[in-house]
Structure 1
Amino acid sequence: MTASASGPAPVTATYDRIGIGYRNVRRADPRLAALIHQSLGEARTVVNIGAGSGSYEPERAEVTAVDPSQVMLDQHPGSKKVLAGAEDLPFEDGAFDAAMAVMTVQHWSELRRGLDEMRRVSRRQVLFTFDPHHEPALWLIDEYLPELREFERARFTPLSTVAEALEAHTVLPFPIPHDFTDGFQIAYWRRPEHFLDPIVRQASSTFAQMPASVVEPAIERLRADLASGAWHRRHADLLERDSVDYGYRLLIAGR
């Protein structure tokens, strides 16, 4: 049953638009899932903030999914679902053993308030996010869409700021495997042809919020470079690598 709370986050409209069919592209990667589940420890009750369609939730725990988009919650397989934003969680203090948030803080309208709420309702916090200042950046940014750098730095708070606000005691790097199954933007660093698929791009909030007048010419340049072999010549070194650290980190706070 879905409960409702006032004041959903502004990201609602974006995910109401891109959320249809989201689960087909954004499939939980088992390696990231294992890291998240290990970090949640023995938590029996977990609130998943910005839950989306339910990726990375531990099967052994009782999970309450929170999301501001009804379209996303409708795809969530769980029975405990709450329509709400991270900044105003409708739960009592300490209601959960743990709180988790996966690739969602960039959408929160008030980051510090959301992190404070995360800490308020749980004794342990596990958060997966991205450092926008990490180098190297994805080749897509440097070679085709430099606009992405400014766009992502405007959305993502520097990792050090997030870690400090959350009072994280552990920060774990997560290099992205070449066959990463969760189709957000970085997943295809060694599979560039996937960026040509509009369905794949639609499942990325970054692409979904950028104007077509910017994205489409860049994709056409990529298409031409793939057809000519230019991309493969430039990135022969990447094709030999199993994973790359692109700045994705798991933060753990609390106890």
Structure 2
Amino acid sequence: MATYDTLGATYARTRQPDPRIGAQIRTALGDVRDVINVGAGTGSYEPPQTVLAVEPSQVMIAQRPPGSAPAVQAVAERLPLRDGAADAVMALLTVHHWSDLAAGIKELRRVARRRIVILTWDQRIFRERFWLVREYLPEAAAFDDTRAVPTDRLADLLGGARQEPVRVPHDCVDGFGAAYWRRPSAYLDPQVRAGVSLFAQTGEDALAPGLTRLAEDLATGRWHTRHAELLTLDSIDVGYRLLVSDR
């Protein structure tokens, strides 16, 4: 996707795989022999049995570490693969970027012999539970309203899927949207925001007033007073979900 030719430039620095989330993804994949990663980005969370990564952005492909699975530049809606090409297909935090969701899911079903694993989020829960978009950046939440995919719709397109909550640890090392929920000052860092499509695509001008309020509330202690309970938690559920569909 052309968007990631610009906003994906910092991914190798800010989007390292978190081992706890990685363990949940590997459990969801199960004992499959080979995996294709669609919308693979820089290769986060790819298990050892990954045989191919599919990624539309050459900028992202160039950031894949040495020894990664081979990558092909292509889109989910037109996978250059034969029917039943692998035991499992995974697609992590990518379906909201696809131009034709139904076509992309149809392709995943065509290529996967046994299982499909998708990481996404429930926008309703995200809006309600994540303090940053609820209190400071409603503009970003409004942007996500236009692209978030309802998990029930995804499950229907998959022909059925179980949904697993993915809790975000307080020290999450993968800098996606809600990763810094207990480290609020991180959101004031432009490099952190550049690695989160929600913020990068909303635009700095739209985010500036909310970020100014956040900086003030951190400086005065208002944020810590308001969110004292959050500081006692090790992890939270803000709506991230794994969908697991068996063929």
TM, length-normalised to structure 1: 0.92
Secondary structure of the residue that 1:253 maps to in structure 2?
strand
Identity of matched residues, %: 50
Question: How far does residue 168 in structure 1 lie from its aligned partner after superposition?
Answer: 3.3
Q: What is the rounded CA distance, in whole Å, between the counterparts of 2:214 and 2:161 in structure 1?
A: 41
Is the 8 Å Cα contact of residues 145 and 218 (structure 1) preserved in structure 2? yes
Deviations 1:31-71 (A, max 9, x none): 11111111111222211000000000112x14201010000
What are the ranges of 5 or more consecutive residues in structure 2 without an aligned counterpart?
none
Question: How far does residue 152 in structure 1 lie from its aligned partner after superposition?
Answer: 1.0
The yes-or-no answer on 1:87 pairing with 2:87 is no
Structure 1 residues 121-160: aligned runs within 5 Å: 121-123=111-113, 124-134=115-125, 136-160=128-152
Structure 1 residues 173-252: aligned runs within 5 Å: 173-252=165-244
The yes-or-no answer on 1:44 pairing with 2:33 is yes
Is the 8 Å Cα contact of residues 57 and 63 (structure 1) preserved in structure 2? no
The yes-or-no answer on 1:108 pairing with 2:92 is no
Question: How far does residue 23 in structure 1 lie from its aligned partner after superposition?
Answer: 1.3
RMSD: 1.2
Is the 8 Å Cα contact of residues 133 and 141 (structure 2) preserved in structure 1? yes
Q: What is the rounded CA distance, in whole Å, between the counterparts of 1:54 and 1:94 in structure 2?
A: 22
Q: What is the rounded CA distance, in whole Å, between the counterparts of 1:253 and 1:63 in structure 2?
A: 20
Q: Which runs of 4+ in 1 moved over 6 A?
A: none
Question: How far does residue 150 in structure 1 lie from its aligned partner after superposition?
Answer: 1.8
Is the 8 Å Cα contact of residues 35 and 90 (structure 2) preserved in structure 1? yes
Deviations 1:114-155 (A, max 9, x none): 011011001210111101111633111121111122211211
Secondary structure of the residue that 2:52 maps to in structure 1?
strand
The structure with the largest helix share of the pair is 2
Deviations 1:48-102 (A, max 9, x none): 000000000112x142010100000111132411100100001000011100011
Which segment drifts farther, 128-137 or 118-127?
128-137
Return closer, same or farther for 1:145/1:239 CA change in 2, 3 Å cut-off. same
Residue correspondences, number: 243
- Tell me which of 24, 41, 46 is aligned to 1:57: 46
Secondary structure of the residue that 2:245 maps to in structure 1?
strand
What are the ranges of 5 or more consecutive residues in structure 1 without an aligned counterpart?
1-11
